[in-house]
Chains A and B, each alone.
Chain A
Amino acid sequence: MSAKEVKTGIHFINGDEACCEGALAAGCRFFAGYPITPATEVAESMSRRLPEIGGIYIQMEDEIASMAAILGASWGGVKSMTSTSGPGFSLMMENIGLGICTETPCVVCNVQRAGPSTGLPTLVAQGDMMQARWGSHGHYEIIALCPSSPQEMFDFTVRAFNLSEYYRLPVIILADETIGHMTERVVIPPEEEIEIVNRRKPAVSREEYLPYEADADGIAPMANCGDGYRIHVTGLTHDERGYPAMDAKAQEKMVTRLVDKIRNNRDKIITTKNLFLDDAEVVVVSYGISARSSMQAVQDARREGIKAGLIKLDTVWPFPEDLMRGVAAQSKAMIMAEINGGQMVLELERAACGACPVRLVSNYGGAILHPALILGSISKAAKGKL
């Protein structure tokens, strides 16, 4: 029996395994990584599954090399990914920037554990939210998705590949230890029902092709190494030919495009799941495992007669600031629930811009947020006590 590329059916698997299956379903055929708790099961699954279906798995010497390898594989024309956790994510930062600058499609799954440093290897946190946004040097835009279940680990990994292929950048899956290690029902649809996006290929002749000349929407068609087109790939600021261009004008032009291709398409990239927003007075905003605790708290609040609502961030970057601004204008208060000292709450405060009070419910990691803690904050906010 030949191994299946898409394991259509109903499974009881953990989030890390679901991430692997999502990647394979999206067409990923190259994984380079270094095992680390709590992301090891992504690599482990990949090491078993990729060789079965003609893909390549490489265990690298470290995470710096892992990130470099998947960039190279992507330029070779193969959809590629790596997975890691905090300490490895830190090491990947430089080459994530290289991926941004060279517009290389690939996916990085960070199953977050508590830091700083080695921290709590086996325990949950959501402390890398700002690192995902700003961890590599220079100014850029990023896309990051936050799954709240093993099912979403599958679904969002497929979407991460599609976004990376379309917008040509490393897309980050910001999972957390609980979601990575939680085992739950995962439904993998038939192959033909899974939407797959592949990178745009050059529409001009080899003579006319410029590797960084963008179409009207800001996306440059990508020729892979070996396709016969002339390409030049560098982390230096470059012109349309891909050649280094060492001045402010070239910098302005290049970074504007890198930033605008994401900013101008925010509405297409951002997705949220909204619950009871129509009449909500107190709105909880959350993501990942914390969104499940929040949903429980919001349902409990409703049972107590409090008009509570929830915005679950599927995409944390770009941040849905327009939605937040609108909701803040109609709310008594907003609450960010997250497992860190307060990271996405800063974005929420910025977006709310004083239109309503913004409160944080959090811990520094090691345990998931208890719904009762969030419920307490909702109750106080509903009574106007903040």
Chain B
Amino acid sequence: MTDKRERHILITGFGGQGIVMAGDILGRAATLYDHKHATMTQNYGPEARGGACSSQVIISSEEILFPCVEEPEILVCMSQEAYTKNVKSLRPEGTLIWDTDLVRTRKSDMSFKTFHIPATRFAEQLGTKMMANIVMLGFLSAVEPLVHADALKKAVLESVPPATRDNNLRAFTNGREYGQSIIKGTVEQEQAKLQD
């Protein structure tokens, strides 16, 4: 039923990590700079922060009607709870991406394409873990190019407070370079933390 040209991405974590902002930036890049269609919808509970949270992004060359991401082809997990809740929905040929330090995966996940990055640790090294979402977007742009990296960079700069632009750009670049080096094989991915 789903149009094959539609790309379905689910970004998950807990409230306060900038999960919705990450989805917004991705959709913004696709819409405003890559001139595609994109929808971003969000799921969250009644809590102000801390509760499970997700943003669903669809990118397409055509108009998108049904905006729900039910079986994502790319799943980004920024918390254990989000991983446990959503990994079942990932398509068998899909890509699983997670924060190395925050998620323990299972051996069976190796059937997916898998990438992980200590995004929160990288962000803390730049001064604030609040930028973990931007590190993750940079990483995503390298391992799964959904939109042009320049488009994504523009969308990041437009979305963050002006005083934090330089730092966010560094966060994005660090994530992207880490992703690129893994793809090229110049850097070994850290050992994933497993549950089993």
Contact = CB atoms under 8 A, between A and B. Distances in A.
Interface of A: 10-12, 37, 121-122, 178, 181-185, 292-293, 295-296, 299-300, 368, 370-372, 375
A12 B1 contact: no
24 contacts: A10-B31, A10-B32, A12-B24, A12-B32, A12-B38, A37-B46, A122-B43, A178-B41, A181-B41, A181-B42, A182-B39, A182-B67, A183-B23, A184-B31, A184-B37, A185-B32, A185-B37, A292-B66, A296-B1, A296-B65, A299-B65, A368-B66, A370-B66, A371-B1
A371 B64 CA distance: 13
Nearest to A181: B42
Contacts of B96: none
B44 interface: yes
B65 A12 contact: no
Which bracket fits the contact residues of B?
20 to 34
A183 B24 contact: yes
B20 to A, nearest CB: 9
A299 B67 CA distance: 16
Contacts of B45: 122
Given A122-B45, A183-B40, 13 more contacts: A11-B32, A12-B27, A12-B38, A122-B46, A178-B67, A181-B42, A183-B28, A183-B41, A184-B38, A185-B32, A292-B67, A293-B66, A370-B66
A285 to B, nearest CB: 16
Contacts of A12: 24, 27-28, 31-32, 38
Interface of B: 1, 23-24, 27-28, 31-32, 37-46, 65-68
A371 B65 CA distance: 10
Nearest to A300: B1
A190 to B, nearest CB: 18
Nearest to A185: B31
Query: 4 closest Cβ contacts across the A-B interface?
Result: A183-B40, A296-B65, A12-B28, A292-B65
Contacts of B46: 37, 121-122
Nearest to B41: A182
Contacts of B43: 122
Nearest to B67: A182
A292 B41 CA distance: 14
Contacts of A178: 41, 67
A141 B156 CA distance: 47
Contacts of A292: 65-67
Contacts of A371: 1, 65-66
- Which has the most chain A C-beta neighbours within 10 Å: B28, B32, B39, B65? B65
Contacts of A293: 65-66
